[in-house]
A and B are shown apart, each in its own frame.
Chain A
Amino acid sequence: MLFTEFRFVGFFATIFLVHWLLPWNRARKLWLLAASYAFYGAWNWRFLSLIVASTIIDYLVGRGLERTSETSRRRALLVVSLLGNLGILGFFKYYNFFAVSAAEFTSWLGLGLPLQALEIVLPLGISFYTFQTLSYSIDVYRGRLVPTKSLPDFALFVAFFPQLVAGPIVRAIDFLPQLANPGRLSDIGLRVPLVRFLLGYIKKACIADHIAAAIDPVFADPAAFDGMTLWLASLLYSLQIYCDFSGYSDMAIATAALLGYHLPENFGFPYLATTVQEYWRRWHITLTTWFRDYLYIPMGGNRLGPARLAINLCTVFLLCGLWHGAAWTFVVWGIYHGLFLTIERFARADRLPRALGHVYVLLVVSCGFVIFRSTSLPAAGIFLSGLLPGASTGTLTIWPGWWGMVAGFGFAHAALSRWPLDSPVARAPGWIFAAAYGVAVAVVLPWAANEYEPFIYFQF
């Protein structure tokens, strides 16, 4: 089930009403847990078993860690959690990639390992909930978090439907305390989440899905399109993936807020960044902070000299790329960003004039997304070489009006960061807000794309 689907309206209205009509917090939590499993099961109920398995492993690990202070036993328990979670993730997401790559490599060496690809369905959102459960075990192991005694609470933390399939990646340290201190409907401001949900819907259904239809042919056959169109398509894809993913995050955060829960911000106007480093502080924030806290800093971060810094950055971003998908395009995309981050540490990109900084980031990010979006590295090479002046021999174009969409988006992006809507929305008289919201929804719905496009980040 997608947030943009019609049936989600009925689903959420039921969840919302029953949730707030239930008088006990315990009952509400169980209701939300059941709803979350139903939400996930609507896609494929068989894969619920994986979420349940992951939940039980980390719940038991947490309980075990609480009972023992012996370092070796604690370490063993953490290894159980890591192997359990990463084992499931590794099999479902990476087995085919590594098996096929290993088979090709050994065949090139003349050894020929008999490894074959299996028909594996990637469970929805597995990368997201695996990282959530891992962060719980690691935080408990490090003594930063008191493990919960309640299995339903922990299960709800793992499966809470607004963020289950595409984030934001929530930390137990932020979420579990909210389960113990329930809010009241009368204390919750409904307007800001309602507006945020609508904005997320516009980003996803009215912008991202339309862009997808326009640029899919360009990425399918980049050699057939002229150079300007390739530039336009690369910018539009940067826009599409932002609107798709941040739109989903907006809807997730708004949905959770309407149920009385706070989810962390996932985006902070990334295309206003003037360095790649700043871009990564604004893009998919919950993932980058996860990698920072659980991988980059434990690896030594920037404390062990320039060489280790470069290695650490490239390693972390290689894994970040792999997290996004099991393909060489994602690996190269990750290393590409790691290299730019390393260069920036030494070349001080923050000294660039502001306007130039924006152009630089947009260029780096858009070219990076060409690698990310392409079906293979050779296809990415054809696309990127076509961006060079006079290099493309293709003649096809797409509607030039899309340049207007890029400009309009840039303006809206900057305007919303400078003048957030929250304050005027909260201050407006109730009847004006209600009427304006009614008109806004009526105007937005006709602009939805005709068919439901899955969220890009669902595949991760």
Chain B
Amino acid sequence: MSPVSAACGVRRTARRRLALAGLGIVVFLAAAALLRSVQGPLKAATIRAQVEAFLAEKDDVDAVFIGSSRVQRGVSPRVVDEKLSTPEREFRSFNLGIAGMRSFEADWLVRRILDAEPARLRFVVIEAPDWKPEHVPQHDFTERYVDWHDARATWLVLRAIWKFNGPWYTKLELSWRNLRFFAMRSVNYATKDRLMARADPAWDRLVAGRGRLRGYQPLDEDTPRVGRRRRRFLENLDWFEKSVADIRAFAEKGQLAIPGAFQTYDLASIEEQVERVREAGATPVYFAAPGLARGPDFSALQRDGVIEHLIDLRDPSEHPDLFAPENRFDREHMNEEGARLMSERIAAELAPIVAGVAAESTSSSRGSTSEDRD
């Protein structure tokens, strides 16, 4: 064989192999997508049961609360509903707070809920997000953490990582980590349990359990599981009270927010979230829980018109009962009585927003009726 024909043969083989590799990859991705479509819900009981319980009654829900365990353990939909229901119309809310949920996962959950097109949903109350793309080691490689890394969420994280102030190697490491999660999700890595989840007899019971209190989980109910946190809190009450005093002092000086904090976070993501909720016909409401740490300046976002509604419960002078040790389960979470108080406070702040939206929709429906007549 001449060198020229040998070279042609090598090129032909290479082209053929590349074409076959391409075919293999396309079939692989198609098969993975097909498998994904028949998968059951997440194995991780908390998020899986919570979301499924919501979806079971999605068309009867007016408002959802989305956020971390501070929402999950602190907002009782029943209390909120009692305050906001009128003789003419029952108000129904659902708590989709999930322990450890941060901004990007919450945004993914917002999208997932809106994609389900809940017929009556008018308010999406979201725990004020920081959009800080941090690495949370205990979440790494968990099924739940991998699961929210769809293309959109991964893109948001990557964008935030490269906006965030930090050394390039940290950005690279965080990017790589999140890309790995995206790849793991795309190929259904280690998701066998989900393929068989529907067959799990405990599943229906779990969902029904979550649906009973509409997502709210009082901390007093599962004291043994979180008993250690409770004991630590009681042992360090002095420290808690000092932290409250510090926060109060900051609030009195008007320094509850960390100056310039939002410059290091991802504003674009907040704007897109607000837009998405509005497009779905709902009103986004942001909620800052009573915590012991200073945070980004959400009020500034409201002043600048990025967000319209903010329920801010962070000032101990304004909401002393939410910072009282007897209403706390631990330093981060309310006990059942604290949750009742916080839910009443949220309902009180939501009431004018609900009324405003109701008035708006009445006037727009009157307008459209008169237009119909014309």
On A, residues with C-beta under 8 Å from B are 6-7, 184-186, 190, 430-431, 433-435, 437-439, 441-443, 445-451
Contacts and interface: CB of A to CB of B under 8 A. Distances in A.
B26 interface: yes
A129 B7 CA distance: 39
Interface of B is mostly: helix
B35 A443 contact: yes
27 contacts: A6-B180, A6-B183, A7-B180, A186-B9, A186-B13, A186-B14, A430-B16, A431-B23, A433-B20, A434-B20, A435-B23, A435-B24, A437-B24, A438-B24, A438-B28, A438-B31, A442-B27, A442-B28, A442-B31, A442-B32, A442-B187, A443-B31, A443-B35, A446-B189, A448-B190, A450-B190, A451-B141
Given A430-B16, A439-B31, A445 B24 contact: no
Contacts of B28: 437-439, 441-442
A434 B25 CA distance: 8
Contacts of A441: 28, 187
Interface in B24-81: 24-32, 34-35
Contact of A438 (B13, B23, B180, B184): B23
Contacts of A438: 23-31
Nearest to B141: A451
B24 A446 contact: no
B103 to A, nearest CB: 25
A431 B26 CA distance: 12
A454 to B, nearest CB: 15
Contact of B10 (A186, A433, A447): A186
Contacts of A449: 190
Nearest to A5: B180
B113 interface: no
B192 interface: yes
A354 to B, nearest CB: 37
Contact of A446 (B10, B16, B29, B195): B195
Interface residues of B, number: 33
A445 B188 contact: yes
Nearest to A448: B190
Contacts of B191: 446
Contacts of A446: 35, 188-192, 194-195
Interface in B210-243: none
A433 B141 CA distance: 32
B99 interface: no
B139 interface: no
Given A186-B13, A431-B23, A434-B23, A447 B141 contact: no
A442 B143 CA distance: 18
B172 interface: no
A438 B187 CA distance: 11
A441 B190 CA distance: 12
Given A442-B27, A447-B190, 6 more contacts: A6-B180, A186-B10, A430-B20, A442-B29, A442-B187, A445-B187
CB-based closest 4 A-B pairs: A438-B27, A442-B31, A438-B28, A434-B24
A448 B189 contact: yes
B280 interface: no
A449 B143 CA distance: 11
Nearest to B22: A434
Contacts of B143: 450
B144 to A, nearest CB: 12
B112 interface: no
Contacts of A442: 27-29, 31-32, 34-35, 187-188
B189 A6 contact: yes
A431 B20 contact: yes
B17 interface: yes
B21 interface: yes
Nearest to B142: A450
B153 to A, nearest CB: 18
Given A439-B28, A442-B28, A450-B143, A434 B188 contact: no
Contacts of A445: 32, 187-190
Nearest to B188: A446
A6 B192 CA distance: 17
Interface string B176-187: 000010011001
A441 B189 CA distance: 10
Contacts of B183: 6
Nearest to A441: B28
Contacts of B31: 438-439, 442-443
B192 to A, nearest CB: 5
A189 to B, nearest CB: 11
A434 B21 contact: yes
Contacts of A6: 180, 183-184, 189
B257 to A, nearest CB: 39
Nearest to B191: A446
A448 B189 CA distance: 7
A445 B32 CA distance: 9
A31 B266 CA distance: 41
A443 to B, nearest CB: 7
A121 B252 CA distance: 55
- Which of B28, B35, B141, B188 has the most chain A CB within a 10 Å cutoff? B28
A186 B15 CA distance: 11
A447 B192 contact: yes
